[in-house]
Amino acid sequence: MQDDYANAKKEMDKLVMESLKGKEFKPNVMFGKLSELTKTMSKGIVNWSRKNSLWPLQFGLACCAIELMDFGSSRIDAERKGYLLFRATPRQCDVMVIAGWVTKSMIPEIKRMYEQMAEPRYVIAYGECATAGGPWWESYNIVKGIDQVLPVDVYAVGCPPRPEDLFLALMKLQKRIGGVIED
Amino acid sequence: MSITRINIGPIHPSTHGVCRLVVDVDGDTIVKVEPHIGFLHRGVEKLVENRMYMQCPPYMEKLDYVAPMSMDDLYVGAVEAALGVEVKERAKYVRVILLELQRLASHLFLIGSVGNDLGLMFTMFMWAFKDRDLILKLLEEATGQRMFYVNMRLGGLVNTLPKDFEEHTIDTLEGLEKRLKKYQAFLEKNPIFIERMKGVGVLKKEDAIDLGVTGPVLRASGVRYDVRKNNPYYVYRELNFSEKVLYDGDNLARFRVRILEMYESMRLIRAAFEKMPEGDEKGMPIRLITPKAKNRIVVVNREVPRGEGLIYMVADPEKAYRLSIRAPSFINLAALEHITKGARIADLFAIFGSLDLVMADVDR
């Protein structure tokens, strides 16, 4: 616990120092620089807090949703990384996990869900069907990959991917968001 | 009184999939529920017509993703009947073991979500999923896959059982049996749970027969019908399978019948391990299959965890000319409109959950 606290503090210090790099301070232009400084600093802080509280949307389409539920259960303690507060409304969420095959009749619904989410919003394509159509690529009613409809940030491949793979995908997403500190 | 129309879904956290319900309510009472389906339709029956026989099990498994192996078994059973392949004696026992393990996992899924559907008790979800994971671990040990096993071959299985499998299974079941008692007590000692489940969503015996529902939903209404008993396949007769029947037909009965079935499944697994003969359970390698259809038209039924699964197949050499699936969830969904009449809107998803539907099975 104390280690965590110390780590977080170290991360914050490092972030601040990084954002200060390359800045020159002259006494007469201090004010302008200060506003800039706060801007960069707050950006780092916001990113840092954002990546540590990714809230996924409680939304599943097909088979992979079962593994998504398993991800939410007790074996994988996903809360330690800050995700696992499945919200039932898109307005409170940051991440949308597309778990399952996407049919043509689902596209308008998924689009609407995506648009309801507050920016910045991220999409994870979970499973083969959401990535590229999976085994249904020949079917007349299936969209061959959700990336034809929405911008996808991270793909997790498998049929279905293990819950650990979703964990990995979310960690990749954290890296993308930034505010990453190397130990 | 004015009637309000509410649209629930297609994306709703408690629809267990993607289903749209148009509900007419009079105040708090449901007048009519109209399920709109087809959001997961992908045309399996058509796709299968262009695939060789043993290319199809992965498609069939995705019909019922809570209990994939049972659907796999249903399809392979149909192909075996069409091509006239005999199942090896040991393979029958192994199949029964794996299928009953799958049934346990499937019913645990329901037990986990039942508290969730009532809007309380997330604890139960956590507990049941922990146990479900243990069973998935066993199945992974036996088949090499976590969720979609594709473990059936004509006449047997792909993988032989590992050495310690029996020991591990018996250990797991022992723990599960203890915990299952605890879970049932945890739920049924709760007066709110009983209040919300008892007498809600009553399906009478005659209606159940008329609507054609099968599986635990039918048995909870007092009808003695189980394919494992009425049309026994594999070794269910040798293992003295007895079907579990309750007579109330409400949510609580549907919940209890599943718990009773879980005890029966555990007994079956233990008995199968005891009676299992020595030998080989490996199925026919795919390259050795001589695709000559012995019977042109086959109808095969199996008791999958959600009800009676049935496949009607017109067999051509090499692939199915036409394959039609009777999905248990699809027919059980038809009962929803009937049993929700007069119920409270808050109980809608408790009733919906008690039918234990899988939407991919409904839409196909």
Are the beta carbons of A73 and B10 separated by less than 8 Å? Answer: no
Largest CA distance in chain B: 70
Residues with pLDDT less than 50, chain B: none
Are the beta carbons of A139 and B50 separated by less than 8 Å? Answer: no
Q: Which of A63, A109, A129 should one mutate to test binding to chain B, selecting the residue with the greatest count of B CBs within 10 A?
A: A63
* CB contact B357 to A (< 8 Å): no
Whole-angstrom Cα distance, residue B203 to residue B61? 30
ipTM: 0.78
Cβ-nearest to B11 among A113, A138, A159: A113
Whole-angstrom Cα distance, residue A148 to residue B33? 34
Cβ-nearest to B42 among A60, A66, A101: A101
Q: Phi first, then psi: give them for residue B308, nearest 5 degrees.
A: -90, 115
Cβ-nearest to B41 among A61, A103, A113: A103
Lowest mean pLDDT among A28-32, A136-140, B77-81, B100-104: A28-32
Average pLDDT over residues A119-134: 86
Domain B4-363 has CATH 1.10.645.10: yes
* CB contact B51 to A (< 8 Å): no
pLDDT band per the 50, 70, 90 thresholds, residue A27: low
Q: Which of residues 42-61 of A touch B (CB under 8 A)?
A: 58-61
Residue with the two structure tokens 């507060």 = A85
Cβ-based contacts of B125 with chain A (< 8 Å): 73
Average pLDDT value over all residues in chain A: 80
What CATH number should be reported for the domain whose range is A63-176? 3.40.50.12280
- Distance from the B258 Cα atom to the nearest Cα atom in chain A, whole angstroms: 20
* CB contact B148 to A (< 8 Å): yes
Tokens (6 digits) for A174: 């954290």
Q: Which of A70, A84, A164 should one mutate to test binding to chain B, selecting the residue with the greatest count of B CBs within 10 A?
A: A70
Give how far Cα B28 sits from Cα of B3, B6, B199, B261, B347, Å: 10, 12, 17, 34, 10
* CB contact A69 to B (< 8 Å): yes
Q: Which of B7, B19, B62 should one mutate to test binding to chain A, selecting the residue with the greatest count of A CBs within 10 A?
A: B62
> What region does B157 belong to: left with phi over 0, alpha with psi -120 to 50, or beta?
beta
3-state class of B215 per DSSP?
A: coil
> What region does B38 belong to: left with phi over 0, alpha with psi -120 to 50, or beta?
left
Cβ-based contacts of A162 with chain B (< 8 Å): 146
Cβ–Cβ under 8 Å, residues B296 and B318: no
Lowest mean pLDDT among A1-15, A74-88, B147-161, B292-306: A74-88
3-state class of B298 per DSSP?
A: strand
* CB contact A126 to B (< 8 Å): no
Name the CA radius of gyration of chain A, rounded.
20
Are the beta carbons of B129 and A113 separated by less than 8 Å? Answer: no
* DSSP3 helix / strand / coil % (chain A, rounded to 5): 55, 10, 35
Amino acid letter, A109: E
Residue A29: pLDDT over 70? no
Whole-angstrom Cα distance, residue A22 to residue B188? 66
Are the beta carbons of A103 and B13 separated by less than 8 Å? Answer: no
Are the beta carbons of B148 and A159 separated by less than 8 Å? Answer: yes
Q: Which of residues 76-95 of A touch B (CB under 8 A)?
A: 88
pLDDT tens for B334-344 read 888 888 888 88
Residue-level pLDDT at A181: 47
Cis before B10 (ω within 30): yes
Helix axes A30-51, A2-20, angle to 10 degrees: 140
pLDDT band per the 50, 70, 90 thresholds, residue A46: confident
* CB contact A100 to B (< 8 Å): yes
Residue-level pLDDT at B288: 66
Residue-level pLDDT at A23: 65
Whole-angstrom Cα distance, residue B249 to residue B203? 5
Angle (nearest 5°) at CA B26 between B213 and B19: 45
How is chain B split into domains, by residue range?
4-363
pLDDT band per the 50, 70, 90 thresholds, residue A146: confident
- Distance from the A19 Cα atom to the nearest Cα atom in chain B, whole angstroms: 41
Cβ-nearest to B65 among A58, A62, A106: A62
Cβ–Cβ under 8 Å, residues B231 and B193: no
Strand partners, A176: none
Average pLDDT over residues A84-97: 82
